[in-house]
Amino acid sequence: MTADRHVPGAHGASLNPALEGVRFCPSCGKDADVEFPRSIRCSHCGYGAYYNPKPVACTIPRTADGDVLLLRRGFAPGKGLWTFPGGFVDLGESTEQAATRETMEELCIDVELGPLVGVYSRPDDRVVLVVYEARALGEPQTTPEATEVRAFAPDAIPYEELAFWSTEAALRDLLAPVDAARRSP
Ligand SMILES: [Zn+2]
């Protein structure tokens, strides 16, 4: 299962499709200096563009009982596997707003954001995840993006069926204190 787990940016996926194979300046059409995957600069007209990892804002919604709401992804990457709601931060909104909006879009629930769980990035990924704990307000529903929604007890997280490495890392960071407390007498 681990070998099949999708990792954004890995498995031969380009770190920057927008700059893949580009040689000419999009402004003046002359030869440009391309430093893949980071930048393109044009000495003829002064055009320049710099590419950075994109922020993805997420919530880990929890029920009043402390269970974790996970969704089964309806689309690739990670289709059919479990994760928490999240998506790209749009220009014009904060990470908090994006996390709340994405949770509404995917699970049809409002959330009350809690503390930051963590920030997850790797050199070979195109995205940087910003993950907040959240309190679920209302009953989640399935959507095209979330074909199944289930509340998991902290000791019943389907770790072998998670969509991304960052899904597992964030869930472990969130729930580690719980696990530790349970282990202590
Ligand atoms: Zn140019």
Tokens found for residue 111: 């959330």
Q: How many whole angstroms from 48 Cα to the centroid of ligand 1?
A: 8
Give me ligand 1 centre to Cα 52, in Å. 21
Domain ranges in the chain are 1-51, 54-180
Q: How many angstroms separate the alpha carbon of residue 35 from the centre of ligand 1? A: 15
pLDDT greater than 50 at residue 148: yes
| 57 closest CA partner among 141, 120, 149, 148 | 120
Span 83-92, average pLDDT: 97
Which run of H or of E encompasses 114? Answer: strand 110-120
Among residues 157, 116, 151, the alpha carbon closest in space to that of 133 is found at 116
Report the C-alpha gap between 60 and 174 in whole angstroms.
Answer: 9
CA dihedral 27, 33, 36, 38 (to 10 degrees): -70
Count CB atoms within 10 A of the CB of residue 148.
Answer: 12
pLDDT value of residue 93 = 98
Flag whether pLDDT at 184 surpasses 60: no
Q: 54-180: which CATH architecture?
A: Alpha-Beta Complex (3.90)
| Cα(55) to centroid(ligand 1), Å | 29
The reported pLDDT for the residue numbered 11 is 47
Entry pTM: 0.84
